[in-house]
């Protein structure tokens, strides 16, 4: 299957990057190269672009899509949490813009054998990086009931988390849970029939939770933001697109902290800790898709774009 992914908030993100033709730009979640293509189109002869993705299929697809700009691009097969390290290895000391388009891609959801979707009957997998040993199958069959309940509650925000975890553990004692549809059946049985009539597919929240755990999505985001912001050149911007409240809260909090890092008690008349802001939040409220985009691409409905700008060096 071709790596197709409709880039959400494309125009808004490109505008938010405030691209300089001779700048250095990074897409840490390259995907099919939708955002990347619009960035490289705007680069001059000295401009450079680095695309990073942990999914090998994304690297292959983007390489083809960006083939007309080979002299400007470098693609890296890795998780974006290692972006700064990998860029430093290549002699880069700072960049003018970073894009992160979080969550799962259309390609990953729609490629049946990847096991991301509750809509298709296939082996449980959900790995964005297929080199890693941990898959959804190990999480479902090896995690304790307490651990399963925690991730379904915290990452899926499902009020039936305890009951779903209990049902999973009871069923796997009879036989290992190997497929998406088997997991669907178990989740359905754990949710009261009356509640299944509203709120969408009963497996949606649990599948999201397992995917987030499998790929360490929130941990990677938390671990990366401070380092990425510090790696921006003066005036450089980071644009992050999130798709659920857990991601958005992490981004909002990190941006706020870098804009106002003071840790002095509120009763202090002046700052004594000496912590200096790294920049400013450009988006006081997140940018959301226009109605037209929501109608055209249903997966864009929950998207939010937040932008942070690195401050100029004070002389």
> What is the percent of the chain where pLDDT is above 70?
97
pLDDT at residue 5 is higher than 60 = no
DSSP type of residue 277 = P
Tell me the average pLDDT across 185-207.
Answer: 87
Instruction: Assign domain 10-106+219-310 to its CATH architecture.
Output: 3-Layer(aba) Sandwich (3.40)
Amino acid 131: pLDDT: 96
User: Which residue spans of the chain are classified as CATH 1.10.150.170?
Assistant: 108-215
DSSP type of residue 301 = T
Amino acid 313: pLDDT: 61
User: Which residue spans of the chain are classified as CATH 3.40.50.150?
Assistant: 10-106+219-310
Cβ-contact 273, 264 below 8 angstroms: yes
Amino acid 315: pLDDT: 41
pLDDT at residue 3 is higher than 80 = no
Amino acid 1: pLDDT: 47
Q: What number of helices (H) and strands (E) belong to the chain?
A: 14, 7
pLDDT at residue 195 is higher than 90 = no
Q: Three-state DSSP class for 62?
A: helix
Amino acid 6: pLDDT: 67
Owner of token pair 């993705």: 53
Instruction: Assign domain 108-215 to its CATH architecture.
Output: Orthogonal Bundle (1.10)
Task: Give per-residue pLDDT as tens, 229-271.
Answer: 999 999 999 999 999 999 999 999 999 999 998 888 888 888 8
Tell me the average pLDDT across 106-129.
Answer: 93
Owner of token pair 């190269």: 33
pLDDT at residue 212 is higher than 70 = yes
């Amino acid at each position: 299957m071709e790596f197709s992914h409709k880039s959400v908030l494309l125009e808004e993100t490109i505008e938010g990057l405030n691209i300089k033709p001779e700048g250095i730009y990074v897409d840490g979640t390259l995907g099919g190269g939708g955002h990347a293509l619009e960035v490289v189109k705007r680069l001059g002869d000295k401009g450079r672009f680095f695309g990073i993705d942990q999914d090998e299929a994304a690297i292959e697809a983007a390489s083809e899509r960006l083939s007309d700009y080979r002299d400007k691009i470098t693609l890296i097969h890795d998780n974006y949490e290692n972006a700064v390290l990998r860029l430093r290895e290549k002699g880069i000391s700072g960049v003018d813009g970073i894009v992160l388009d979080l969550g799962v891609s259309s390609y990953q959801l729609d490629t049946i054998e990847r096991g991301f979707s509750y809509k298709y009957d296939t082996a449980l997998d959900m790995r964005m990086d297929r080199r890693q040993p941990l898959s959804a199958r190990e999480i479902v069959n090896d995690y304790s009931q307490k651990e399963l309940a925690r991730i379904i509650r915290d990452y899926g925000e499902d009020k039936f988390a305890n009951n779903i975890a209990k049902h999973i553990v009871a069923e796997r004692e009879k036989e290992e849970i190997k497929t998406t549809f088997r997991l669907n059946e178990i989740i359905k049985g754990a949710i009261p029939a009356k509640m299944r009539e509203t709120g969408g597919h009963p497996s949606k929240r649990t599948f999201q939770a397992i995917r987030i755990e499998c790929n360490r999505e929130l941990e990677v985001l938390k671990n990366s933001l401070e380092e990425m912001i510090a790696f921006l050149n003066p005036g450089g911007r980071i644009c992050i697109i999130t798709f659920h409240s857990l991601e958005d809260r992490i981004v909002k909090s990190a941006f706020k902290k870098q804009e106002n890092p003071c840790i002095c008690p509120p009763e202090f008349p002046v700052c004594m800790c000496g912590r200096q802001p790294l920049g400013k939040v450009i988006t006081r409220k997140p940018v959301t898709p226009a109605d037209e985009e929501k109608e055209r691409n249903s997966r864009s409905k929950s998207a939010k774009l937040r932008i942070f700008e690195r401050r100029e060096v004070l002389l």
